[in-house]
Structure 1
Amino acid sequence: MNPGWEDDEAGEDAAGNMVRPYTITRGRTAPARDDLTLITVLTTVEDPRDEHGAPVRPGRLQPEHRRILQRCRQPAAVAEVAADLDLAVSVTKILLADLVGQGLLTARAPITVAWAAGGIDPTLLAAVRDGLRRL
């Protein structure tokens, strides 16, 4: 046996927080959605409802899912959520896609991306800005 390996194994056991990513994602290596980028903004849905208006009952949530829902009570980007959870972005995207799929989390492009896509009228924003400056 290599003595260096024994020390590494003891260090992992001593830390107690070496959870493998495939355990958290239940073996999945890619999210169900491919539209989640580092700057996608996520927000927890306060009163989730299905297409018929019935309350959504979440499936079994892992501790990481619950932490994401708690974190996203205030809008947060994918990168922020990953950093707060101390998880790899790829793992975080899988967990986020689970929650979006269950209707517990909303995902949208940040305002600058929506603006570039034509979703926001720049003249309206300029008028609001000018009005605020006059106050």
Structure 2
Amino acid sequence: MRHWTEGFDDGDADEQLVRPYTITSGRTAPERADLTLITLVTTLPEVSTQAALAVRRMQPEHRTILGLCRESKAVVEVAAKLGLPVSLTKILIGDLVDSGYLWARSPQPLTRATGPSDMTILQAVRDGLRKL
């Protein structure tokens, strides 16, 4: 019987041998539709010692995400820092949001009622260019 690592070149030794689906327990798609590339995620303060024990039992990627998100980060930033595909990162972040360890917030859309008018933006650009 052959070992599963037979056939790998020595050049492959530096590559990650853990497949992404093992990190997500076989899940290949995020369950949450509200996590986009620009969704901001932030670690919530721990609520009890029981929560601290649960964090120690998490996968290393989950703990890394909690550490990265002490300050708000976009989902795409977290994926880049982890070096993992965005789809995999969304699954991991979804786990943490569902467990109450992360807070996810979609950016507010800029509307005419709440944002500056097109003319105001154009005038600000014009004034900035004149100062150059």
TM-score normalised by L of structure 2: 0.70
Cα distance in structure 1, aligned partners of 2:83 and 2:37: 15
Match for residue 68 of structure 2 among 58, 63, 71:
71
Corresponding residue of 2:11: 11
1:106 aligned counterpart, secondary structure: strand
Closer, same or farther: CA 102–66 of 1 in aligned 2, 3 Å: same
Deviations 1:84-112 (A, max 9, x none): 0000000000000000000000000124x
Give the deviation of 1:15 after TM superposition. 1.3
Q: List gaps (5 residues or longer) in structure 1.
A: 49-53, 124-135
TM-score normalised by L of structure 1: 0.68
Q: List gaps (5 residues or longer) in structure 2.
A: 1-5, 117-132
Q: Match for 1:32: what amino acid?
A: E
Structure 1 outlier segments of 4+, above 2 Å: 8-12, 54-60
Cα distance in structure 1, aligned partners of 2:92 and 2:49: 21
Corresponding residue of 2:59: 62
Give the deviation of 1:18 after TM superposition. 2.6
CA contact (8 A) 1:56 1:103 kept: no
Corresponding residue of 1:40: 39
Corresponding residue of 1:132: none
Closer, same or farther: CA 33–56 of 1 in aligned 2, 3 Å: farther
Cα distance in structure 1, aligned partners of 2:10 and 2:46: 45
Q: Match for 2:41: what amino acid?
A: L
2:41 aligned counterpart, secondary structure: strand
Corresponding residue of 1:103: 100
Q: How many residues align?
A: 108
The sequence identity of aligned pairs, in percent, is 51
2:16 aligned counterpart, secondary structure: coil
Please provide the CA RMSD for this pair: 2.6
